[in-house]
């Protein structure tokens, strides 16, 4: 009996200090109406029909990795791109940015790989690593170059994806007209952790479980209203 009580006490303590475990993200899925995922070749086989019919909440959008650096192209992107649209899920493409590679070459890699069409979401710059050799000013210049080239090509301002730490170091106070997408798994309220008027996407877990996808997947909430989400699409 004492052992059982000890186990129960430990579980309760764990839930108390980890609200995400206690609610299984229910508080987030109930708070926001629009949710989506982001994927790459790491997800391997995807049953898009099951994703579209996910039981816990509706998958309204999916961002797919298209390119990385100056030359890498995600092998799954072409099929995922078509299948996502066929499943009736709003789709968007992202580029994994490499600070050490030419931003010009990286922009061309993305543009040459992604044909955005009417109804697709704005392109995304995925910025996840800081530099030990370049100044913050130089990093911002390289980011700006990629954003400028891609915006000119598609006629829409790209979304910037990053985490809370890199946001505070490189992004905060700059890129004021770009929509922000922040990854932060350690807060239950992203607007409290990162206060910014253009913050619209929150990646709140990298360990989500979605019907049709084996293994873990990133899950995101859109923080704005429906019309704001629609305004991020190409028309």
| Annotation marks residue 53 as catalytic | no
- Provide the 3-class DSSP secondary structure of residue 110: helix
Separation of alpha carbons 35 and 58, rounded Å:
7
What CATH number does the domain containing 123 carry? 3.20.20.80
Separation of alpha carbons 147 and 134, rounded Å:
19
> Please, which pLDDT band fits residue 26 given cuts at 50, 70 and 90?
confident
Dump pLDDT digits (tens) for 56-112: 999 999 999 999 999 999 999 999 999 999 999 999 999 999 999 999 999 999 999
pTM beyond 0.95:
no
153 occurs within a structural domain: yes
6 occurs within a structural domain: no
Domain that holds residue 173: 19-231
CB-based burial of residue 229 (10 Å sphere; 0-12 exposed, 13-18 middle, 19+ buried)? buried
180 occurs within a structural domain: yes
Number of domains in the chain: 1
Sign of CA dihedral 78, 45, 96, 184: positive
Query: Which residue out of 49, 53, 68, 128 is catalytically annotated?
Result: 128
138 occurs within a structural domain: yes
């Amino acid at each position: 009996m004492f052992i059982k009580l000890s186990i129960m006490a430990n579980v309760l303590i764990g839930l108390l200090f980890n609200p995400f475990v206690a609610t299984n993200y229910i508080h987030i899925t109930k708070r926001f109406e629009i949710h989506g995922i982001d994927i790459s070749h790491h997800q391997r086989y995807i049953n898009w029909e099951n994703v579209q019919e996910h039981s816990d909440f509706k998958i309204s959008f999916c961002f797919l990795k298209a390119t990385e650096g100056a030359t890498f192209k995600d092998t799954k992107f072409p099929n995922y791109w078509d299948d996502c649209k066929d499943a009736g899920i709003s789709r968007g493409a992202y580029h994994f940015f490499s600070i050490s590679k030419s931003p010009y070459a990286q922009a061309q890699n993305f543009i040459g790989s992604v044909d955005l069409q009417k109804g697709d979401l704005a392109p995304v710059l995925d910025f996840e690593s800081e530099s030990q050799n370049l100044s913050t000013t130089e990093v911002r210049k390289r980011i700006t170059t990629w954003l400028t080239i891609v915006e000119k090509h598609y006629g829409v301002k790209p979304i910037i994806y990053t985490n809370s730490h890199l946001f505070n170091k490189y992004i905060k106070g700059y890129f004021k007209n770009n929509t922000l997408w922040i990854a932060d798994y350690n807060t239950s309220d992203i607007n409290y952790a990162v206060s910014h008027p253009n913050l619209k996407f929150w990646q709140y877990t990298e360990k989500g479980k979605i019907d049709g996808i084996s293994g873990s997947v990133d899950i995101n909430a859109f923080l704005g209203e429906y019309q704001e989400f629609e305004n991020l699409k190409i028309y």
